[in-house]
Structure 1
Amino acid sequence: MSGALLDDHDVVLFDLDGTVYRGGELVPGALEAIQQVHSRGVPVRYVTNNASKPDQAVVDHLVGLGLQAERSEVSTSAQAGAAMLAEKLPVGARVLVVGSPALKSEVEGLGLVPVSEFADEPVAVVQGLFTELAYRDFAEACLAIRGGALWVACNADRTLPTERGLMPGNGALVELLRAATDQEPLVAGKPERPLLDRAVSSSCASRPLMVGDRLDTDIAGAVKADMPSLMVLTGVNTPRHLLEARPGERPTSVAADLRGVHSPKSVVDVAEQPAWSVSVGERLELSARGEGDELGALRALCAAWWSAGAGPVPVEGTDDAARRALRELDID
């Protein structure tokens, strides 16, 4: 059996919402898994598309949940969005901020001037999630974008996992401005590269592993950044979503939760499985050929289908073990 997945990497990039925690609750297994990464001496970066909190607040939240964390280990989409603006604008440029005080602070910290009204003549708009935004904020941003201002979105997540369920994310609000302006923003967070590139660069690493729960952000970002990824089934996306993933949203490994970082690479990688057989035709037919669990079946199904096609596909179990595995995965 091969070594652990972690053995091949010199930094682990952890998504937060839906991967490490859901709101105020740690995901099962997260504490032990991350502690074990630290004990191995491998750097971690907490990489979040949530732009509503300053990095210190993220640290405080993680520490409050029992995790070890420092500001240097946190990379937020607010930081990435502000950095993208700073690369494109001169010092002192006015930026209309549609977002939290944390986003305003990041903008100001890079020598730009945060404003809140179109009358202040902003040359750019930066947008991040903030639960206290009102119609007026979007109206001012709409006028600025229609007037030619550069538009940067910290992220495009349509939903945000919480302990109560999925809530509207920044991407849902980006859609509002997209509809009102007929314009497209530059995106700093996942799945675009700026946020991940900054996190890897800050760790001086060369063999990163991205770990997340969302195909359209965490995994798609890893694909764009040409880095391996581990998808965990603790947040937004389901086994059915994974099986039907487009080529640009396919992880290299799959696990139930963060403990998969320490599992043998040969076990968690999406590949043929010794305990399962998959026949590809008009449907996928899953058969057991040994003792295996449902996640092994999922990896086998993905490996077979991804090499042959994409999108929705019927799946059928040909024996009791296979049918049981498909029921557990909710893809029967």
Structure 2
Amino acid sequence: MMTDSIHPLSRIRAVLFDMDGVIYVGNRPLPGVQELLDYLDATGRRWMLVTNNAALTSQQFSDKVAAMGLRVPPERILGSAEATASWLRHQVEKGWPEGKVIVNGQDGLRAALTAAGFELTSDPFEAAYAVSGANFKLTYDDLANVTLAIRNGARFIGTNSDRTYPTERGQVPGAGAILALFTAATDREPIVIGKPNAPMFEEAMRRLGVAPEETMMVGDRYETDIVGALKLGMLTVGVLTGVDTRATFEAQSAPPHLIVEGLPELLAHFQRADATQGVRAERSSP
């Protein structure tokens, strides 16, 4: 259990939230989400929702949570598609060559790369970059073309390494399973952007203008949400509204700093810490 003397919540300037299992389950919002987001706004803290899902754009995610009654503007949402496109653009700005991108993925990933200024191609022999995410309309030609591009020298980049994707029918192959296929076919390992890898967290913190030591990560999966944040020196919170149980979190060699039943309990921790430090909420809603 975290103590305020060691990890004072009143010093946290920004909070990153995983989405599925933390903000909502399916199409149902979880208790206390809007209340906590409003409190963070009211106490001058920044926040962002971060997800490995690369299928949707930030606007589409915003529309999805709006249908649940949650007020989350698109600029407060970072999916792995947009994180990947933004990361790649920064690499080009720092010296990587401009070039066309061959994509294995869905419309959200294609839209993010296009918005970041990249020209997409289906020709494996003119691609400078090969970017792969989840693709629910995958064909053998898709696999062959991306494989050929990588073998021809295209830099190999993955949106996330999630091996499975949850559906109504159960767990189906995710982006990580497809990356494994490309690795087997090319003997090349991808640069992976999504959690638990550093680029996803770093992009979110860059947008919020904060450092790891003043940032909290809230997630329901230890191996993605918590591991990566701990490596960067962030404060971590495991919530029990999604995949992992308290026993799972506590069994880790480096467990989350705090484990809570849900976001209402996390809000209560913030309120107690702020009251101790004399922090006052200036407003009750954004």
The TM tier, using the shorter chain, reads 0.7 to 0.9
Partners of 2:31 and 2:264 within 8 A in 1:
no
Q: Given the superposition, is the C-alpha separation of residues 29 and 223 from structure 1 closer, same or farther in structure 2, using an over 3 Å criterion?
A: same
Q: How many residues align?
A: 263
| Residue in structure 2 matching 1:103, options 109, 125, 140 | 109
Residue 248 of structure 2 corresponds to 241
SS at match of 1:50: coil
CA distance in 1, matches of 2:267, 2:260: 10
Report the Cα distance in structure 1 between the residues aligned to 2:63 and 2:234, rounded to whole angstroms. Answer: 29
Instruction: Report deviation, 1:255.
Output: 1.0
Distance, in Å, in 2 between the alignment partners of 1:53 and 1:101 is 7
> What is the Cα deviation at residue 167 of structure 1?
4.3
**Contact 1:96 1:125 (C-alpha < 8 Å) held by counterparts:** yes
1:211 alignment partner in structure 2: 218
- Supply the AA of the counterpart residue of 2:257: T
Q: Given the alignment of the two structures, is residue 55 of structure 1 paired with residue 58 of structure 2, yes or no?
A: yes
Deviations 1:37-58, CA, capped at 9 Å, x for gaps: 3343422101111111111101
Structure 1 residue 166 displacement after superposition: 4.3
Candidates 50, 64, 67, aligned match of 2:67: 64
- Aligned residue type for 2:54: A
SS in 1 for 2:127: coil
Return the letter of the residue paired with 1:203.
L
| Partner residue, 1:193 | 198
Selected match of 1:78 from 56, 73, 81? 81
The equivalences for 1:166-177 within 5 A come to 166-177=171-182
Decide whether the 8 Å contact of 2:34 with 2:71 is kept in 1: no
Q: Does the 8 Å contact 1:99/1:129 carry over to 2?
A: yes
Q: Name the aligned partner's letter for residue 173 of structure 1.
A: I
Question: 2:35 matched to 1:28?
Answer: no
CA distance in 1 between counterparts of 2:129 and 2:100 reads: 7
User: Structure 1's 112 and 40: CA in aligned 2 closer, same or farther, altered over 3 A?
Assistant: same
List structure 1 runs of 4+ shifted beyond 4 angstroms.
1-6, 161-167
What is the deviation of 1:5?
6.6
Deviation at 1:59, TM superposition (A): 1.0
Instruction: Choose from 110, 117, 121 the match for 1:115.
Output: 121
Measure, in 1, the Cα distance between the counterparts of 2:157 and 2:56.
18
**Structure 1 residue aligned with 2:281:** none
- Structure 1 stretches lacking a partner, 5+ long: 268-332
Alpha-carbon offset, residue 73 of structure 1: 0.9
Which is bigger in relative contact order (C-alpha 8 A, separation at least 6)? 2
Q: Give, in angstroms, the shift of residue 66 of structure 1.
A: 1.2
* Partner SS, residue 111 of structure 2: helix
TM-score (norm 1): 0.71
Cα RMSD, aligned residues only: 2.6
* 1:193–1:70 distance in 2 versus 1, CA, 3 Å: same
Q: Read off the aligned partner of 2:201 and give its amino acid letter.
A: L
Q: CA deviation at 1:168?
A: 3.5
Residue type at the aligned position of 1:108:
T
- Report the 3-state secondary structure (helix = DSSP H, G, I; strand = E; otherwise coil) of the residue aligned with 1:113: coil
Cα deviation, residue 132, structure 1: 2.3
- Conserved 8 A contact 1:17-1:161: no
Give the secondary structure class of the aligned counterpart of 1:57: helix
Q: How does 1:293-312 map to 2 (within 5 A)?
A: none
Tell me how far 1:246 sits from its aligned partner. Answer: 4.5
Q: Could you report, residue by residue, the CA deviation over 1:57-96 in whole angstroms, capped at 9, with x for unpaired residues?
A: 01111211111111221112112211332214333x1111
**Which one has the largest radius of gyration?**
1
Unaligned runs of 5+ in 2: 273-286
Judged with a 3 Å threshold, the aligned counterparts in structure 2 of structure 1 residues 182 and 237 are, in CA distance, closer, same or farther, namely: farther
